[in-house]
A = this chain, B = another copy of it.
Amino acid sequence: MRDHIHGPVDPPGRLRGLGIDEFRLHGGFWGGLQARNSAATLQHCLEWMERLGWIANFDRVAEGATAGPRPGWQFSDSEVYKLMEALAWEHGRTGAAWADETLASLTERVAAAQDDDGYVNTCYGHAGQADRYSDLSAGHELYCTGHLLQAAVARVRTAGEDKLVEVARRAADHVCREFGEDGRDGICGHPEIEVGLAELGRALNEPRYTEQARLFLERRGRGTLKPIALLDASYFQDDMPIREADAWRGHAVRALYLAAGAIDVAVDTDDADLLAAVERQWTRSVERRTYLTGGMGSRHQDEGFGEDWELPPDRAYCETCAGIASVMVSWRLYLATGDVRYADLMERTFYNVIAASPSEDGRAFFYANPLQQRSAAADVRPDEVNPRAEGGVRAPWFDVSCCPTNLARTLASWQAYAAAVDGDAVSLLQYASGDLTVRLDSGDLTLRIDTAYPHEGAVRIEVVAAPEGPAELRLRVPHWAEGAAIADATGRREAAPGWAEARGPLHVGATIELHLPVEPRFTWPDERIDAVRGCVAVERGPLVLCAESIDLPWPLESLRVDATHPPRTEGDGAVLQATAMPPAPEGGPLPYRSTRSVGEPITPAPVRLIPYHRWAQRGSTAMRVFLPTM
């Protein structure tokens, strides 16, 4: 048994992620987000769910008062569990008594609602409710249970076994009895139980849970789920077995949660074929179905992946939860393979999907993360539950409110994804200021990391404590970082994208400096992405930049970029040389003309771009990431 506090994922292989207590952030980009999550978002989620009665649903089950109408969608229990997971990480990270006490109180209420046989759900199976598992397609019962198990995993890894873990264990045992080899031949319309069971199986050393996750995986893809109106079986990945698929399709969060569970099962059961299938799906989907921001999901209709190359910037769904799920998948693939490309995509998604969602006060959130907003969205009221947001405005809470609690659990555990340990070697994957202490096979290594990344490209690492035995340090050089350099005891040298190994002994006082080029740069989309033909984007380090209408002297729709002038740094964004294209003269009632419009461009002017994650923070605006060239 390892003696550190484990992180969100802890596979049995050589590579492990950081334990929740191994890296203490000191402010900076992620430290700031984490502090805001701690100070505002956790309480905000708790208040909303109390106000809406989603937590009281558990009390109603405990009291046998389930006959009347029940507030919330059938999956609202999962939001409570995700908040509990967030509280567990938060307590593990900071030791905060408030987090611990709140978690304990929620645990009591959930425990009181658990049936004698371990079943726990506030929407099914009690007086006045539909029968247990009577609607596997849409009922989300196993989905909710999966989130309960993940919350318990966070708890056992940060505080050991307690009542929450006991509740989860009983729930998992119930699922194994009910859906085991000799039980119901069913699966849940929304994957999540797979990853929950696999993680809990790992955390509690219960191979039965992993085996049950494997069973669910193998049953899927055979068209057994009753279709939901107008959606086909690919919506819930029930169209083909996971081993046969080449790309992710259908509902993005479903596809990605399923993939995460599949990786856990593949690793824990040494199933190379299954792991290869998910790697293949990652490769194809990242190549053809992923936005520049790392966002996934091209369609509002089914919150789903589109076809290859179908990546409209305006109707990009890029649900915040899909970004989180993508990180879950890439993290597992990184730990399983050590391939740096997975950490690269995580960085892209962290900065351009996950960091984009919360407002500056941590009390409002983007649900969808489009790459273009043609006109400023209407403001929302801070006290109103919003329908699923169309994009353009951060809202305090949603009718389907999966994103806020998902963000909360992810931000509370962010530092666990920042590095990985392999025997006597530590690999830094994400750069943030803080104190990193990792237990290597040879002893404890403590590094102090100082950086203003991503706004500046220098990362300074000092060895504060070193083990007696051997220790190695390597640094991820992002795929975009052509021209990076590393300086260590042996001098300064170029560092090509991939890995840069620190040379020389890691004795106390040794320093290593990584220099990543974060000057703004043009990025061109593949010609097959029809929706952004003739456009260019600007990136700056890991940040995707965007133009907001409030920064422009002309309407955003008329903006044309002069791509012969490279972008220059300004603040945390960039400045471009641009002009405006006046609308074509009217040629009839339709917007199609017999001649190509050749308006006379306005005198060029410099135009400011800001990091995408900060858009719509100065009020509702029009925005675009991909900018037409002249």
Q: Chain A interface (Cβ within 8 Å of chain B)? A: 227, 230-232, 283, 286-288, 290, 292, 299-301, 306-310, 312-315, 341, 344-345, 348, 372, 374-375, 387-388, 399-400, 479-480, 482, 521-537, 557, 563, 581, 583-584, 588-597, 599, 628
Contact residues in B for A532 (Cβ distance below 8 Å): 530
Given contacts A300-B301, A533-B628, contact A593 B312 (CB under 8 A): no
Which residues of B lie under 8 Å from residue A300 when comparing CB positions? Answer: 299, 301
For A595, the chain B residues whose CB sits under 8 A away are 524
Cross-interface CB contact of A528 among B230, B309, B591, B596, cutoff 8 Å: B591
Partner among B231, B308, B594 whose Cβ is within 8 Å of the Cβ of A374: B308
A530 lies within 8 A of B310 (CB): no
Q: Assess whether A592 is in contact with B399, with CB atoms less than 8 Å apart.
A: no
A312: chain B residues within 8 A (beta carbon): 312, 315, 531
For residue A534, which residues in chain B have a CB less than 8 angstroms away from its CB?
533-534
Q: A345-B589, A524-B595 are in contact. List 13 more A-B contacts (CB 8 A).
A: A230-B399, A283-B589, A299-B301, A301-B301, A309-B374, A310-B315, A479-B588, A524-B597, A526-B584, A526-B597, A527-B581, A530-B532, A531-B531
Smallest CB gap from A480: residue in B: B594
Looking at the assembled complex, report how far the CB atom of A629 sits from the nearest CB atom of chain B, in whole angstroms: 9
By a CB distance below 8 angstroms, the chain B residues around A307 are 314, 374-375
A526 and B286 contact, CB distance less than 8 A: no
Contact of A583 among B232, B524, B527 (CB under 8 A): B527
Of all chain B residues, the one with the shortest Cβ separation from A388 is B230
Least distance between A302 CB and chain B CB atoms (Å): 9
A555: nearest chain-B partner, CB-CB? B528
Nearest neighbor of A521 in chain B, beta-carbon distance:
B594
Question: Is A590 touching B524 in the complex (CB atoms < 8 A)?
Answer: no
Whether B592 and A537, one on each chain, are in contact in the complex, defined by CB atoms closer than 8 angstroms, is yes
Task: List 30 contacting pairs A-B, 8 Å CB cutoff, sorted by A.
Answer: A230-B388, A283-B589, A287-B591, A290-B590, A292-B590, A292-B592, A300-B301, A308-B375, A309-B374, A309-B591, A310-B315, A312-B531, A314-B530, A315-B315, A341-B589, A348-B590, A480-B594, A522-B594, A523-B593, A523-B594, A524-B592, A525-B592, A525-B593, A526-B584, A527-B581, A527-B583, A528-B591, A530-B532, A531-B531, A534-B534
Among A230, A287, A372, A533, the most chain B Cβ lie within 10 Å of the Cβ of A533
A522: chain B residues at CB < 8 Å are 594
Bound: A374/B289 CA distance, A: 14
* A231 surroundings in chain B (CB, below 8 A): 387
Closest to A313 in B: B530
A583 to B526, CA, bound (A): 8
For residue A559, give the distance in angstroms from its CB to the closest CB of chain B: 11
Q: Which residues of B contact A314 (CB under 8 A)?
A: 307, 310, 530
For residue A589, which residues in chain B have a CB less than 8 angstroms away from its CB?
A: 283, 286-287, 341, 344-345, 479
- Bound Cα distance from A534 to B530, whole angstroms: 10
Contact partners of A529 in chain B: CB under 8 A: 591
Determine the chain B residues whose CB is within 8 A of the CB of A232 once the complex forms.
387
B524 with A596: CB separation less than 8 A: yes
Q: In the bound complex, how far is the Cα of B605 from the Cα of A464, in angstroms?
A: 67
Which residue, A231, A309, A522, A596, has most C-beta atoms of chain B within 10 A? A596
- For A593, list chain B residues within 8 Å (CB): 523-526
Given the interface pairs A301-B300, A315-B315, A591-B288, the reply to whether A557 lies near B523 with Cβ below 8 Å is no
How far in angstroms is the closest Cβ of chain B from A35?
Answer: 31
Q: How far is the CB of A294 from chain B (nearest CB, A)?
A: 8
Could you say which residues of chain B place their CB within 8 Å of the CB of A308? 374-375
| B531 adjacent to A530 (CB under 8 Å) | yes
Closest chain-B Cβ to A599's Cβ sits at a distance in Å of 8
B-side contacts of A227, CB under 8 Å: 387
Bound CA span A532–B534, Å: 10
How near does chain B come to A221, taking the closest CB pair, in angstroms?
A: 17
Verify A523–B592 contact, CB threshold 8 A: yes
Q: Who on chain B is nearest to A557 by CB?
A: B528
The smallest beta-carbon distance between A223 and chain B, in angstroms, is 14
A594-B315 in contact given A589-B287, A628-B533 (Cβ < 8 Å): no
A464 to B594, CA, bound (A): 38
* Nearest residue, chain B, Cβ from A528: B557
Q: Which residues of B contact A299 (CB under 8 A)?
A: 300-301, 315
Interface centre among A292, A314, A527, by most chain B C-beta atoms within 10 angstroms, is A527
**With a CB–CB cut-off of 8 A, which chain B residues contact A535?**
533
